Amino acid sequence: MPVMMNSQSGIRYNSYGRFLKGKFGCRVYKVSVDGGFSCPNRDGTISAGGCTYCNNDAFNPSYCQPAKSVSQQIEEGIIFHKWRYSEARSYLAYFQAYSNTYATVDKLRILYEEALSYPGVIGLIVGTRPDCIDEEKLKYLKVLSEKYYLAVEYGIESCYNKTLKRINRGHTFEDAVMAVEKSAAYGINTGAHFIFGLPGETREEMFDQADIISGLALKTVKFHQLQIIKGTRMEKDFLEHPEDFELFSWEEYLNFFIRFLERLNPSIVVERFTGEAPLRFLTGTGWGKKRADQIVNLIEKRLEELDTWQGRLY
């Protein structure tokens, strides 16, 4: 049943936690896995430089190292979750680092099926690029999705080709739309990541993406505010052309995000409102010690105060 968001229901956005609980009847935790994949935008196939903001170390948990087997990473991830949440029983293995469909189907099968055979793992989330998927892989993923929960998450980052070019994504927005449509046509849960604050985009352009994203066949979305990561090409770009960047303060982001949510299709599940790279990776102070869960609480409170909700203006 679709979630009704309005003042009466008190439900103000389509949350990922509620989505998973509705699906599995219990809280489900993600354990990250680094399958040792590369990325065509780094290995020279598309480019050698990668996306200008890319530094996978900034979000990869420390237990995730490709030198360890998939099972060992899952085991360590589960120990970590159980230490924090004693009730944790069910897990989704999240192939997160780099492009996790950038290999033959035979290799994907070995890695994914090792993860799915681990006790307590009830599904997979596969993060990848829109140009690292094809019919053969989608057919295999469809077979898996008939037995397990399976989601593919595409890094789309922006709906504007001028931005994708500037950040050296190596694909167009049209490529991303095609990957999303094809995956959804196979009945696969399809997600996407977007970044707000990318260079050269106005606030209005960022905001207008709500309408574009609303029209995509997406089940879930993750949003991040741009954070400038030390040692990246984007840091260099930022230092050379600070006038092209309008980084959000957290107060600005709060106001922007509420307006954005009001325009977003209410059937899309919002998995993340913000990104949270550790401070030691950031150029500047970012949002200081504000954690993603604090921002979520502030957004929930503000939605309440303004008596508004996701999709109110959709």
| Contact footprint for ligand SF4 (CB under 6 A) | 39, 41-42, 50-51, 54, 56, 98-99, 129, 155
Between 195 and 258, whose beta carbon lies closer to ligand SF4?
195
Strand partners, 102: none
Quote the least distance from Cβ 264 to ligand SF4, whole Å. Answer: 24
CB closer to ligand SF4 out of 170 and 286 = 170
Task: Tell me how far the alpha carbon of residue 215 is from its chain's centroid.
Answer: 18
Question: Least distance in Å: CB of 49 to ligand SF4?
Answer: 8
Which amino acid does the sequence have at 140?
Y
Could you tell me the smallest distance in angstroms from the CB atom of residue 188 to ligand SF4?
A: 19
Q: Which one, 170 or 266, has the nearer CB to ligand SF4? A: 170
Nearest to 228 by CA among 219, 238, 220: 238
Residue 57 vs 304, nearer CB to ligand SF4: 57
In the complex, least distance from residue 98 CB atom to ligand SF4, rounded to whole angstroms: 4
Q: Which is nearer to ligand SF4, 46 or 184 (CB)?
A: 46
**Shortest Cβ 234–ligand SF4 spacing (Å):** 11
User: Identity (one letter) of the amino acid at 276?
Assistant: E
Specify the residue, 34 or 201, whose C-beta has the smaller distance to ligand SF4: 34
Q: How far is the CB of 132 from ligand SF4 (least distance, A)?
A: 9
